[in-house]
Chain A
Amino acid sequence: MSNAAARTLRAHPLALQLVILAGFALFPLAGDDYLVVELTQYLVYGIFAMGLSLVWGYAGILCFGHAVFFGLGAYVMALVSKGMVPGIGGALASGWAAMALAVAVVALFAVLLGYFLFYGRLSGPYLGIVTLAISVIAERVAIKWYYIGGYNGLTGIPPLSLGGREIIDIVPMYYLIASFAVGVYLLCRRIVASPFGTIVAAVRDNEDRAEFFGYNTAYYKIVIFAVGAAVAGLAGALFAVVTEFVSPTMIGFGMSTEVLIWVALGGKEVLLASFLGALLVRAMESFLSDVLTYYWFLILGLFFVACVMFFPRGVFGRLLAARPMATGAKAGGAGET
């Protein structure tokens, strides 16, 4: 894209968003089914990335265990819709009810976890270490607990149905997931643009100062943490539906690190940039692992280093920033060293 075109789009964020939306809407018409299957999964990862963007990018909470929420959502979805949870059957075990339950369970878990983390005044590296430990524990539990499938995970998750018809074909599935992605994006954007979002940003920037203005900062962190977790939980539930499969790798440390990389590469301060970051890295992985087999990790690592050095706001962060960014100070700061 030429510089002039980029500038024009940056000046018209709505136009840019519509171009991106149109791209996704038209994709199944152009791509073959294999690519549509791939992209459907990437969209789910993109939703997951937006959840972390809220928590890390907007609230400044560096969470090393965001996959715990993704995996928990997936497992709840799988267990409930397969009728494996004692006492929950019938209408409650339908796909949509299971999904709502998955999101609710994840949000509740995040509120509880957040209560201890943020009223315990954990921040920075300590918060990272605790969340990291939780993700490792979650993965071990998932591996060792045979009722929920142990190492092999759970398969045969029933499809969702809409208007009495089951969504099995890939193109309807793609549009369903894409609608979820759009819905989550609009919801999250609304939250960050609200007065609540401004307070969250203020807490990220200078927590003590926000507290002196009378804000119970722990409360704001818990709420945004729970929202970000619920979004990840929704993504997990959708992932279970799309792949009809859940496994311990989805809940663990490896997945938590991956989502951090997507969001960092895309641009953690901008929802849409985080979303596209997930798509970019997954697409790169798919392409490069075919060509380079396991050397692709090396390329990803180098790419990551390059991004940190040359695009501190992420590959898409600058382009998609909704408002004028701190160009003077930020660019000046980077140029001094």
Chain B
Amino acid sequence: MDDRPDRFVHETGRHRVALLETQGITKKFGGLTAVDHVSLKLADAELRCIIGPNGCGKTTLFNLITGHYKPSGGRILFQGRDITGQAVHRISRMGIGRKFQVPGVFDELTVYENIRVPFFSGQRQPMLMFGRMDAAAHDEIMANLAGIDLASKAGEPASNLSHGQRQWLEIGMVLASRPRLMLLDEPTAGMTVAETRKTARLIRRISAQTGISILVIEHDIGFIREIGGHITVMYKGAIFREGSYRQIQEDPAVREIYLGRRR
């Protein structure tokens, strides 16, 4: 894994390692071009938001990165390696974790088991049928649950959780799989203002403490302001603008297509 030279790219004025890079990635559904030559570079430990109106191709871009869709053109590099068109579980194993728009928690499993599933993914231990949990693994899972404020719910089925708690649980699940890159698809959809703020703080804390690169699709402007960092605006499948929150907010063209229409 570490036999390749690191790739340095020029990014917002600093030299950083590009963890993820899409090169002219394109996806067509029949006559519709959902993602149109998107070239995106995400540095190591970077926290970035992607915004854009509905149907602008944000989720399709995620589906291309995770291998759910095969691109019609272009390449995707992860840690310098070409992962274009690889199987979903292979890409996931390389260290790309994803939180879905609709909470993808396992309803029939307990909150604890929900963390346990991704915890054993990757190369942690061979999946022997008679394997057992060691104490260290248990402590790590409980620490994960404490981080998302769900330790007291460990024994309850995930179906008992509130909407916000389910979103946090899924963030905890993605985190438990020890990704290098987290893709979060609208993590605050349907949340109250207080829950949204808490989620933003949670994501910022994860970014600062773990150094995991995080790519967030969001609609909520309050959330994006709270997150800070670099913002990519997508429009009609292509990258429209990139910049800081202030630059994006003050850009009249962005206001026109996106912010302006939001009250």
Interface residues of A (CB under 8 A from B): 190-191, 194-199, 201-202, 204-206, 208-217, 220, 223, 227, 323-326, 328-330
For the complex, what is the distance from the CA of A3 to the CA of B183, rounded to whole Å? 49
Closest 10 CB pairs of A and B: A214-B92, A329-B159, A326-B157, A214-B93, A205-B106, A209-B104, A202-B117, A214-B121, A213-B121, A213-B118
Q: Is the interface of B mostly helix, strand, loop or mixed?
A: loop
In the complex the two chains form, what is the Cα distance from A273 to B113 in whole Å?
A: 22
Most chain A Cβ neighbours within 10 Å, of B100, B106, B128, B131:
B106
- In chain B, what residue has the closest Cβ to A333? B159
Chain B residues lying within 8 Å of A206, measured Cβ to Cβ, are 104, 106-107
Determine how close the nearest CB of chain B comes to the CB of A332; give it in whole angstroms: 9
B106 touches A195 (CB 8 A): no
Contact with A along B111-152 (1 / 0, CB 8 A): 001001110111001011111110000000000000000000
Judge whether A205 and B109 touch: CB under 8 Å: yes
Residues of B within 8 A of A328 (CB): 157, 159-160
B66 at the interface (CB under 8 A from A): yes
Chain B 158-169 interface mask (CB, 8 Å, partner A; 1/0): 011000000000
Within the complex, the shortest CB–CB distance from B33 to chain A, in Å, comes to: 25
Residues of A within 8 A of B106 (CB): 201-202, 205-206, 209
Q: Is B89 interfacial (CB 8 A cutoff)?
A: yes
B117 and A194 form a contact (CB under 8 A) = no
B interface residues with partner A (beta carbon < 8 Å):
66, 88-90, 92-93, 97-98, 100, 104-110, 113, 116-118, 120-122, 125, 127-133, 155-157, 159-160, 173, 177
Contact of A214 among B89, B128, B131 (CB under 8 A): B89
Cβ-defined partner of B129 (8 Å) among A213, A215, A223, A330: A223
Number of A-B contacts (CB under 8 A): 101
Given contacts A195-B133, A214-B93, contact A323 B116 (CB under 8 A): no
Assess whether B120 is in contact with A199, with CB atoms less than 8 Å apart: yes
State in angstroms the CA–CA spacing of A217 and B127 once bound together.
12
Q: Is the CB of A201 within 8 A of B113?
A: yes
Contact between chains at B118 and A194 (CB < 8 Å): no
Q: A216–B98 Cα gap in the complex (Å)? A: 16
A-B contact pairs, 12 of them (CB 8 A): A195-B116, A195-B120, A196-B131, A201-B108, A202-B106, A202-B113, A213-B117, A213-B121, A324-B156, A326-B159, A326-B160, A329-B157
The smallest beta-carbon distance between B103 and chain A, in angstroms, is 10
A255 to B: closest C-beta gap in Å? 27
Distance between B36 CB and nearest chain A CB, rounded to angstroms: 25
Interchain CB contact under 8 A, B128 and A194: yes
- A126 → chain B, closest Cβ, in Å? 21
Contact between A329 and B109 (Cβ–Cβ < 8 Å)?
no
CB distance from A34 to the nearest CB of B (A): 39
Question: Which residues of chain A are within 8 angstroms of B90 by Cβ–Cβ distance?
Answer: 214
Asked if A198 and B127 sit within 8 Å, CB to CB, the answer is no
Which residue from chain B places its CB closest to the CB of A193 in the assembled complex? B132
The answer to whether A205 and B108 have CB atoms under 8 Å apart is yes
